Amino acid sequence: MASNLTKVIQNARKKHTATVFFLHGLGDSGNGWAPVTEEMGYTLEHVKFILPDAPIRPVAVNGGARMRAWYDIYALSNAEDILKQRLDDEGVLLSVASVNRLIRDEIDAGIPSNRIVIGGFSQGAAVGITIGLLSEYPFAGIIGLSGYVPLKEKTFTMATDANKNTPIFLGHGDCDEILPYQIGKLSYELIKSRGYPVTFKTYNGMGHHTSQKEIKDMISFLQEVIPDQNSEKI
């Protein structure tokens, strides 16, 4: 059953005309990314940021310890094994449903889906990418940082055409010690092979975290897909 998620909300600094949903990684929370999105908000003054908190659940790879997680992880290994191993498909889809509730609320409040971007980091990126590909709403953009396509080929048997032309931005560090760089590259190639307009950026020397360069690139991407409509009227 889909959960009612808690969330961090950062309101737009001026007239609100676009919204970005950004999902955190394993064991983190919306507050973990709040300083990053707050910094981005100084450039993207028309954007509201919504940072949902994943439910607290046992995570097998961490000995069953309870933490915020979008889905269970059974093991961490090399890129090829991660793409082949058993995954908590049900957990992924439940998180998709939970975040979709928040997205529907935002649309009902007056922000059209083509002014909404869905994104995330690591496990949050995996869920965010899945939301984008499966959604019936056409979004402005999809962002995946240090993530992958968790349901692999199965994703595309469930995908709609709503975001077939939606720009997708993927970024990954080539020194990622948690989710190997190759898994990001393979996921990019999988999405590209299905005809989606996807961009993949490599960050040299970056581990399993973000960087000022990646944040700058993310801001540039958002300026392209959800430009400030307030300035257009001046």
Residues 6, 50: Cα–Cα separation, whole Å: 10
Match 């490599």 to its residue by tokens. 202
Rounded Cα gap, residues 173 and 121, in angstroms: 12
User: How many DSSP H helices and E strands does the chain contain?
Assistant: 8, 9
Q: Which of 95, 98, 113, 122 is catalytic?
A: 122
Instruction: Based on the residue annotation, tell me whether 208 is a catalytic residue of this protein.
Output: yes
Q: Is 122 a catalytic residue?
A: yes
From the CB of residue 97, how many other CB atoms can be counted at a distance below 10 Å? 14
Say which of 72, 174, 208, 209 is annotated catalytic. Answer: 208
Tokens 């960087």 locate to: 211
Output phi, psi for 29, to 5 deg: -150, 175
Token pair for 5: 């998620």
Q: Which two tokens stand for residue 27?
A: 């064991």
Cβ pair 21, 103 in contact under 8 A: yes
Check if 3 is active-site.
no
Per the structure block, which two tokens stand in for 175? 């020194």
Pick the catalytic residue from 176, 187, 217, 228: 176
| Residue 132: burial class (beta carbons within 10 Å; 0-12, 13-18, 19+) | buried
Catalytic residues: 122, 176, 208
